[in-house]
Amino acid sequence: NDVTFFTQVVFCFVKTIHEFFRGSKKRMVIFASGRGSNAEALHEAVENGTINAEIKALVTDIPGAACIDKAKSWGVPVIVADRKSFASKQAFEQYILDAIAPYAADVICLAGFMRLLSSDFISHYEHKIINIHPALLPSFRGLHAQGQAVAAGVKIAGCTVHFVVPDMDAGPIILQSAVPVYEDDTEDTLAARILTKEHPTYVRAAALFCDDKLTIDGNVVKGTQE
């Protein structure tokens, strides 16, 4: 009827104006090594418009990783770079750089990508690479961050989304979310609790980045508070 039609016209008009002022979609490339639940959360948020981006490709270093089938099901091209097939880290990284160059990425999201990128690689995408780490940085860098937290007996743990710099799990922090640690926690139970926070935290950080809301002032990221 007329009311429904009118409502739809108004909705389309508002949406078009919103998209115009929001700016063009960022070109996103995701790097992942495993099951890809963070990649999936990013994809869902891109699809529903929460993140103003298009996912151009997914890069993985693990042939057969579950993230590959996920990306294929989204119709996203997959680049597999198995470190073992390259003589050096430099050759491995050069392959990835060449493979993603056509996508002219505005943002690279490391979503469970378990390799340290060299400073040379990072220099090609300065302040455009973001990572999620399952700890409240700067505590518990590196592997088994959730197990490190349990072993240290901390009472609060969580996740951090940050800009990537050559040092492992360092770089200006965009957002963090906290969870409690219980006395009977294991690495796995804590990891599962943290993971439920990882997805919304990564989505929000990526959304802020893609809406050009973030600035970096030394170690401090500004623009994350409403």
* Whole-number Å distance between alpha carbons of 215 and 224: 9
Q: Answer whether 135's CB lies under 8 Å from 145's CB.
A: yes
Catalytic residue (one of 43, 127, 133, 199) = 133
Nearer to ligand GAR, 18 or 204 (CB): 204
Is 127 designated active site? no
Q: Closest separation between CB of residue 32 and ligand GAR, Å? A: 6
Site map (CB under 6 A) of ligand GAR, residues 189-208, x = contact:
------x--x----------
Question: Pick from 28, 29, 38, 96: which binds ligand GAR (CB under 6 A)?
Answer: 38
Determine the residue with CB nearest ligand GAR.
Answer: 112
Judged by DSSP in three states, 160 sits in strand
Tokens encoding 158: 């969580």
Q: Write the DSSP symbol of residue 138.
A: T
User: How many CB atoms are closer than 10 A to CB 137?
Assistant: 20
Q: How far lies 221's CA from each of 11, 129, 165, in Å? A: 34, 14, 14
**Tokens at residue 13, please?**
């008009």
CA distance linking residue 175 with residue 160, whole number of Å:
6
The least distance separating ligand GAR from the CB of residue 28, rounded to whole angstroms, comes to: 15
CA distance 97 to 120: 11
Stretch that binds ligand GAR, among 1-9, 90-98, 126-134, 208-216 (CB under 6 A): 126-134
Minimum CB–partner distance for residue 112 and ligand GAR (Å):
3
Asked if 216 is part of the footprint of ligand GAR (rule: CB under 6 A), the reply reads no
Catalytic residue list:
133
Interacting residues toward ligand GAR by CB under 6 A: 32, 34-38, 111-112, 132-134, 145, 169, 195, 198
